[in-house]
Chain A
């Protein structure tokens, strides 16, 4: 199957700083990628749809100025958590679909804001 790689897998940052998470499709081109957030023992919630070469589409209730998404190439989307606070601590996962197939998930990033 297709491979989606996400980095870093874990990051700890200080409150007020920004953190960038990368999501790469290694063996296919992904014009669209998706970013999810998962709280402990909870389900995955779609945050935004990342579109190559255009602005991301955010789900209702997601702060676009807090969670900056850039999809500069067909294989890379980045999520930047700006001015992070402890409540931003979570598991962030990206995914991409090759087209008429399943979605492939990255490994996820465990963000801890202290």
Chain B
């Protein structure tokens, strides 16, 4: 089955700096790669996603890049703010139809943004 590795496990930055989280996946058939932000005791919230036919996607301060050849994808957060502090998870799936919900998650990255 799919295996997703995520690094780093913890990331500490100063407010205004950029943060980068990287993930690799094992199944070349995976075609959908979402990123989630989870606050303590809450549900994961989708912050950005990318499909395998796209190399990069940006939404304001957040961007995701995908390298299908190397089977890795990365989350980039610019101009970080204290409210960005949370746990971030990458995920992958070889979805189609409702199977986009069957996700394999990375181990998570605890991001701390210091004021």
How long is the Cα–Cα vector from A44 to B108 in the complex, in angstroms? Answer: 9
Number of A-B contacts (CB under 8 A): 63
The count of chain A contact residues (Cβ–Cβ below 8 Å) is: 27
Q: How far is the CB of B6 from chain A (nearest CB, A)?
A: 8
Q: CB distance B99 to A32 under 8 Å?
A: yes
Stretch from A13-21, A62-70, A80-88, A90-98 at the B interface: A90-98
Q: How far is the CB of B81 from chain A (nearest CB, A)?
A: 23
Which interface class (under 10, 10 to 19, 20 to 34, 35 or more) fits B? 20 to 34
Contacts of B102 in A (CB 8 A): 34, 46, 49
Q: CB distance B44 to A44 under 8 Å?
A: yes
Q: CB distance B98 to A97 under 8 Å?
A: yes
Additional A-B contact list (9), CB under 8 Å, known A91-B41, A97-B97, A97-B100: A34-B102, A42-B107, A44-B89, A45-B105, A95-B101, A97-B99, A99-B97, A105-B44, A108-B42
Which residues does B use to contact A, with CB under 8 Å? 34, 41-44, 46, 49, 89, 95, 97-108
Which residues does A use to contact B, with CB under 8 Å? 30-34, 42-46, 49, 91, 93, 95-103, 105-108, 110
